[in-house]
């Protein structure tokens, strides 16, 4: 699939043209003059209060007899148009082309509300996101096939846009997000820790990353008792995956990203209810995000040193499974009392964070579908971020905002840290239901040294949608990848 930007599509036969139209009635600034009036008329016909991202199509005959499918997308208010809105609008337009034979598509960009390069990158990402489907294991002919798109033209009108780097970034991020979605979508029997390691090896090869996969014996030798405690109930061997990107000279790491990799979470002895347990295959979305993010960072050759850590295991009941009340020693040396075996994500993350620190990272972000409590607090539209110092937490939040991901800062004070102290060990992995997301963060915080800048992203509420959205099919959403890449880019730019 080829991407390029043009001032006007004159001379190019378009099978389809996507035009965002704002609630005020005006079409996107890049809309060709010959199509503007028609697009705005279509929008009026479908109603000025149309639900955002809804689409309407109109077959427009052109000179010479050729026809173009005009796809009008409700873009909301122009003053609210941002990066997230931009890629969602393009995704909605591409999704409206499912089941069509479209090969060449034009996208009218809005370059007044949004800088041109940002609009181009968001549009490239939006195209990628819309061309991902969850039904990879169906054997019957697809009733709603993807369009065979070969060329995408971004129409910028009078704007002067230097798009080469924007397209490069959009492709790297779009492919990374879809890779993360694909991993999280796979059934647990086909995406065991061993399978994740194999996929990570292929990813590392294509992106030019160094990879190391520690087996259980290596983890045991490093003292990862907390991580390995989660693996006790499963016959599938745990894998501790490490990717490294050296984008500058010198030792140390400018950023570490650590992702929770529970490839299936039954809850262990503290077993989950049967309803929706099949969805617990996506409990490795954090690991998928950091591996995918590392690949995009390497492909973009960002000038920083990065380490990505993905502790992967299943969490199952069994004769050897961890029992509530068991005590283990984490890699940090802190002893851990397991109160609830279904609070397992934090058990793998503490050893991942400690490993990253001992490798030389002073700035660490962990990503995890950690708690249902974060979805109770924030719903399905924001991830939560915890950490210290406040300046670093804000830097991570801003990286999300710039990349089009919504992140909300959450509290983490000494009262919560006191509540996760154990009577018989240093810390316990559960302090009750109230404030559950905060206690998960407080547990990880207990192993983070004072000289480390650390942020914890709880993506449990945004990692999976069980219904279709106008710009995205149901299933895994690939959150945090964009934030990771933007954060790395920001850190790298400060080193120049």
DSSP string, 400-468: HHHHT--EEE----HHHHHHTB-SSSSEES---STTHHHHHHHHHHTTS-TT-EEEEEE-TTTSEESS-
Tokens of 379: 């719903």
Cβ atoms within 10 Å, residue 314: 27
- Measured in whole angstroms, the distance separating CA 228 from the mean position of its chain's CA atoms is 26
In Å, how far are 229, 236, 271, 487 from 232, measured between CA atoms?
6, 9, 15, 35
The tokens describing 146, both together, are 């993807």
What's the predicted TM-score (pTM) here?
Answer: 0.97
Q: In angstroms, rounded to a whole number, what is the distance separating the alpha carbons of residues 414 and 14? A: 60
What is the Cα–Cα distance from 122 to 127, expressed in whole angstroms? 9
Q: How far apart are CA 294 and CA 310, in angstroms?
A: 11
The pLDDT tens digits along the chain (496 residues) read 999 999 999 888 999 999 999 999 999 999 999 999 999 999 998 765 578 999 999 998 866 667 899 999 999 999 999 999 999 999 999 999 999 999 999 999 999 999 999 999 999 999 999 999 999 899 987 778 999 999 999 999 988 898 999 999 999 999 999 999 999 999 999 999 999 999 999 999 999 999 999 999 999 999 999 999 999 999 999 999 999 999 999 999 999 999 999 999 999 999 999 999 999 999 999 999 999 999 999 999 999 999 999 999 999 999 999 999 999 999 999 999 999 999 999 999 999 999 999 999 999 999 999 999 999 999 999 999 999 999 999 999 999 999 999 999 999 999 999 999 999 999 999 998 899 999 999 999 999 999 999 999 999 999 999 998 888 889 999 999 999 999 999 999 986 5
pLDDT at 314: 98
Catalytic entry in 260, 346, 363, 482: 346
Q: How many residues does the chain have?
A: 496
Annotated catalytic residue 272: yes
Whether 168 is a known active-site residue: answer: no
| pLDDT at residue 49, rounded to an integer | 56
Tokens found for residue 206: 């294509």
Q: Which of 272, 362, 406, 469 is catalytic?
A: 272
What's the longest Cα–Cα distance across the chain? 82
pLDDT score of 494: 84
């Amino acid at each position: 699939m080829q991407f390029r930007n043009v001032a006007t599509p004159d001379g190019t036969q378009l099978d389809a043209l996507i035009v965002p139209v704002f609630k005020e009635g005006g079409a996107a600034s890049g809309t060709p003059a010959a199509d503007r009036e028609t697009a705005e008329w279509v929008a009026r016909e479908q109603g000025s209060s149309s639900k955002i991202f809804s689409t309407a199509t109109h077959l427009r005959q052109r000179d010479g007899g050729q026809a173009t499918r005009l796809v009008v997308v409700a873009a909301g208010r122009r003053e609210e148009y941002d990066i997230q809105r931009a890629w969602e609008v393009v995704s909605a337009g591409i999704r409206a082309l499912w089941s069509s034979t479209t090969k060449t598509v034009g996208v009218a960009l809005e370059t007044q509300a949004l800088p041109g390069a940002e609009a181009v990158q968001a549009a490239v990402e939006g195209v990628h996101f819309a061309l991902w489907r969850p039904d990879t294991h169906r054997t019957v002919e697809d009733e709603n096939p993807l369009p065979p798109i070969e060329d995408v033209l971004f129409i910028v009108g009078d704007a002067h846009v230097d798009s080469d780097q924007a397209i490069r970034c959009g492709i790297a991020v779009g492919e990374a997000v879809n890779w993360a979605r694909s991993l999280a979508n796979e059934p647990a029997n086909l995406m065991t820790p061993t399978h994740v390691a194999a996929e990570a090896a292929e990813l590392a090869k294509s992106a030019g990353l160094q990879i190391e996969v520690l087996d259980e014996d290596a983890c045991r030798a490093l003292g990862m008792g907390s991580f390995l405690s989660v693996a006790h109930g499963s016959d599938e061997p745990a894998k501790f995956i490490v990717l490294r990107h050296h984008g500058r000279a010198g030792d140390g790491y400018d950023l570490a990203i650590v992702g929770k990799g529970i490839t299936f979470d039954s809850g262990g002895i503290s077993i989950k209810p049967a309803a929706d347990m099949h969805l617990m295959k996506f409990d490795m979305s954090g690991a998928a995000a950091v591996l995918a993010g590392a690949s995009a960072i390497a492909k973009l050759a960002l000038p920083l040193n990065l380490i990505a850590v993905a502790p992967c295991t299943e969490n199952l009941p069994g004769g050897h499974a961890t029992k509530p009340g068991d005590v283990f020693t984490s890699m940090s040396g802190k002893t851990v009392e397991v109160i609830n075996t279904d609070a397992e994500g934090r058990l793998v993350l503490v050893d991942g964070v400690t490993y990253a620190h001992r490798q030389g990272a002073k700035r660490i972000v962990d990503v995890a579908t950690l708690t249902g409590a974060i979805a109770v607090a924030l719903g399905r539209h924001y991830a939560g971020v915890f950490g210290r110092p406040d300046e670093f937490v804000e830097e991570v939040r801003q990286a999300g905002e710039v990349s089009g991901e919504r992140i909300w800062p959450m509290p983490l004070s000494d009262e919560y840290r006191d509540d996760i102290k154990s009577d018989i060990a240093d810390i316990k992995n559960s302090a009750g239901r109230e404030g559950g997301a905060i206690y998960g963060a407080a547990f990880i915080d207990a192993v983070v040294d004072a000289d480390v800048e650390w942020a914890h992203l709880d993506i449990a509420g945004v990692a999976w949608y069980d219904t279709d959205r106008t710009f995205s099919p149901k299933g895994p959403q690939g959150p945090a990848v964009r934030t990771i890449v933007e954060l790395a880019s920001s850190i790298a730019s400060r080193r120049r």
